[in-house]
């Protein structure tokens, strides 16, 4: 087990709280940070400090001596551009600079919303591989594209190892029919983070953040580099959720789900491909 502390940003969010609990129970020394107070009892040996991602010095101080940074901080939903830009773009730069300074591995909580305007596959249509074209479905997804490209830059230029996890629908259980393809269970995410920390070498990696769902939208990725295989399966909930659809034709057409219709103003239908056979 890695002896250096692990820094977890966004520790007060739903995923951060779960990871703090699970990683603490697994014996990791944790440094937790968030702009909001940590609402739970601290795991044994963990320390929490309130910090803003926009404050470079505060981030550098929290990262000192850490071997891995799990970056789950920033705005986690679709927001106006001006709300997204500070924590998700400027704040991420501070995180990467801290990782470069400390020689730490960075695990970036990316999102399926980086590719949200790809259509959902039908029948035997090919699934998306990790190197597919980015097609973000909003400003939040766009910020995650930026984050993945920053990881590419910092690996190529500075040798900062990074794992970019395109999280699907990470909830205690799948909530609707789309989640039959996108669901990532809490235990599968926790097991993935342990492998991200412990893997010998990861380079610049991209992993689809979904459980072992037969209906998945997604194909090849770099999970073998960290030695992770999901164990849970959304099919266990099919009878409960397969009828839960939105009825919105945009939401149901594209992989990004309910993010895709937000401020959607295209006139006369869907993407240009429908009219002009263009991507």
Instruction: Return the bridge partners of 49, or none.
Output: 33
- Token digits for 52? 């803003």
Distances (CA, A) of 223 to 14, 20, 234: 24, 22, 19
The answer to whether residue 140 is catalytic is yes
Checking DSSP bridges between strand 169-170 and strand 68-71, what pairing results, if any?
unpaired
Give the number of other Cβ atoms within 10 Å of residue 171's Cβ.
15
Instruction: Return the bridge partners of 147, or none.
Output: none
Active-site position among 96, 139, 140, 154: 140
CA distance 279 to 128: 15
CA distance 200 to 7: 18
Which of 229, 117, 216, 204 is CA-nearest to residue 168?
Answer: 216
Residues in the chain: 279
What beta strand segments (E) does the chain contain?
6-9, 30-34, 47-50, 68-71, 105-111, 162-167, 169-170, 183-184, 204-209
H helix runs in 112-228, sequence order: 139-158, 179-182, 186-198, 223-226
Which residues are the active-site residues?
140
């Amino acid at each position: 087990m890695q002896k250096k502390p692990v820094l977890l940003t966004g520790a007060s969010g739903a995923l951060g709280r779960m990871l703090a609990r699970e990683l603490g129970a697994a014996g990791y020394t944790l440094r937790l940070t968030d702009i909001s107070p940590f609402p739970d009892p601290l795991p044994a040996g963990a320390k929490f400090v309130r910090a803003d991602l926009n404050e470079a010095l505060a981030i550098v101080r929290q990262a000192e001596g850490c071997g891995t940074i799990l970056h789950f901080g920033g705005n986690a939903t679709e927001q106006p551009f001006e709300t997204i830009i500070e924590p998700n773009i400027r704040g991420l730069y501070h995180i990467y600079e801290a990782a470069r300074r400390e020689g730490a591995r960075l695990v970036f909580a990316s999102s399926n919303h980086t590719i949200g305007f790809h259509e959902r596959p039908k029948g035997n249509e090919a699934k998306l591989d990790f190197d597919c074209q980015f097609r973000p479905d909003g400003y939040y997804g766009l910020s995650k594209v930026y984050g993945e490209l920053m990881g590419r830059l910092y690996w190529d230029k500075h040798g900062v190892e990074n794992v970019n996890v395109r999280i699907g629908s990470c909830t205690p259980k799948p909530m609707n029919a789309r989640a039959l393809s996108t669901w990532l269970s809490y235990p599968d995410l926790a097991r993935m983070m342990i492998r991200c920390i412990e893997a010998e070498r990861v380079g610049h990696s991209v992993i689809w953040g979904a459980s072992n769902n037969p209906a998945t939208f997604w194909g090849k990725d770099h999970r073998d580099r960290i030695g992770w295989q999901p164990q849970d399966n959304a099919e266990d909930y099919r009878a409960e959720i397969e009828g839960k659809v939105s009825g919105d034709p945009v939401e149901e057409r594209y992989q990004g789900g309910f993010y895709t219709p937000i401020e959607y103003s295209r006139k006369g239908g869907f993407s240009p491909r429908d009219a002009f056979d263009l991507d």
